[in-house]
Amino acid sequence: MATEDTHGLGYHRVDDDPNVDVLIATMDGTAGWDATLRLRSWERAHLGLAHGERLLDVGCGLGEAALGLAQDLGDGGEVVGVDVSERMLRVARSNAGAARCRVRFTVGDACSLDEPDDSFDAARSERTLQWLADPAAAVAEMVRVVRPGGRVSLIDTDWSTFTIHVGDDALAALVRNGMRTERNRPSNVGRRLHDLVGAAGCVPLARTEATQTWTTWDPDESPAPLGCFSMESLADDLVATGRLATADRRRFVSTIHDAARRGQFLMSLTMFGVVAVAP
């Protein structure tokens, strides 16, 4: 994978993206993040799924999280994964072989689910709201299809928490300030999950957060830190928003790469989770 291949990763329309294979590989990378594993295990404990229940995963991607929860549903349960990307679902279907319960991975839009009212015991959505124009509409749809008293679980990133420390305070401040503002997508939705479920009439049961930290990365081995975008892509974004001069782009990238080669690399990102009871 060339460094340029991680440029501008985005999950709005995976199937139309020329980098679809990179998008899929990156999702695999994020599934291995410590923070992802911690949040999924926390979610499992708070969802408290029982044998025979039906679970919906909205924006299910490669389906690992849904299939991981399938073991709690027993033979009589069912997992349904909905995603706008057929390419993601192809991988999800190929991963579904070992599940004991019924599994259905189907193409659909988070904001207009093709599922009946009150037809699930629980619905979850992970790192998908940040790619939607209207996250509240997607949460309303999840609430519509979950029975009263069922559970709704949201996990999402807050990109305003993203930091890079490479021994250069000005660079760290540039990145922090550049990521603070949402532009064409709700990239900071993680911090709003609790409010979103509350506004949809749910009663929050539990909330948490988990920070992913990267302490090592060899830019000569891998174009980007595991499951993340490249530093070229970050620089382009900062240039596009007028925070970084085009003339300084190359120096920005090489400062980070050189520090990482010296072992002086610390990057972090916080994700949030909430589990709530549906009205």
Ligand X SMILES: C[S@@+](CC[C@H](N)C(=O)[O-])C[C@H]1O[C@@H](n2cnc3c(N)ncnc32)[C@H](O)[C@@H]1O
**Least CB distance to ligand X at residue 64 (A):** 7
Question: With CB under 6 A as the contact rule, which of the stretches 10-18, 171-179, 235-243, 244-252 interacts with ligand X?
Answer: 10-18
| Interface segment toward ligand X; rule CB under 6 A; list 9-17, 94-102, 174-182, 209-217 | 9-17
Where helices occur in 126-275 by DSSP H, the ranges are 135-145, 169-180, 193-199, 231-240, 249-261
Beginning with the edge strand found earlier in the chain, give each strand of the sheet holding 54-58 in spatial order: 102-107, 78-83, 54-58, 120-126, 146-165, 266-277, 203-214
Candidates 123-131, 175-183, 195-203, 247-255 — which segment interacts with ligand X by CB under 6 A? 123-131
Q: Which of 131, 217, 252, 272 binds ligand X (CB under 6 A)?
A: 131
Q: Candidates 60-68, 70-78, 215-223, 268-276 — which segment interacts with ligand X by CB under 6 A?
A: 60-68
Residue 135 DSSP code: H
Instruction: State the Cα–Cα distance between residues 242 and 48, nearest whole angstrom.
Output: 47
Residue nearest to ligand X (CB): 61
Q: Are 135 and 142 in contact (CB under 8 A)?
A: no
Judged by beta carbon, residue 83 or residue 174, the one nearer ligand X is 83
Query: Is 132 a residue that touches ligand X (CB under 6 A)?
Result: yes
Binding test (CB under 6 A) with ligand X, winner from 84, 123, 202, 260? 84
Say how far apart CA 103 and CA 92 lie, in whole Å: 10
81 binds ligand X (CB under 6 A): no
Number of amino acids touching ligand X (CB under 6 A): 21
Instruction: Pick the binder of ligand X from 22, 47, 55, 60 (CB under 6 A).
Output: 60
Q: Which residues pair with 151 in a beta bridge?
A: 122, 277
Place of tokens 């009150």: 118
Whether the Cβ atoms of residue 271 and residue 212 lie closer than 8 Å to each other: yes
Contact with ligand X (CB under 6 A) among 14, 22, 39, 197: 14
What end-to-end distance do the CA atoms of the chain give, in Å? 47
For residue 217, give both structure tokens.
């990365």
Note whether 135 binds ligand X by CB under 6 A.
no
| Minimum CB–partner distance for residue 159 and ligand X (Å) | 12
CA geometry: angle at 98 spanning 55 and 54, to 5°?
A: 15
Minimum CB separation of residue 157 from ligand X in Å reads 8
Is there binding between residue 129 and ligand X (CB under 6 A)? no
Residues that bind ligand X (CB under 6 A): 11-12, 14, 27, 31, 59-61, 65, 82-85, 88, 109-110, 126-128, 131-132
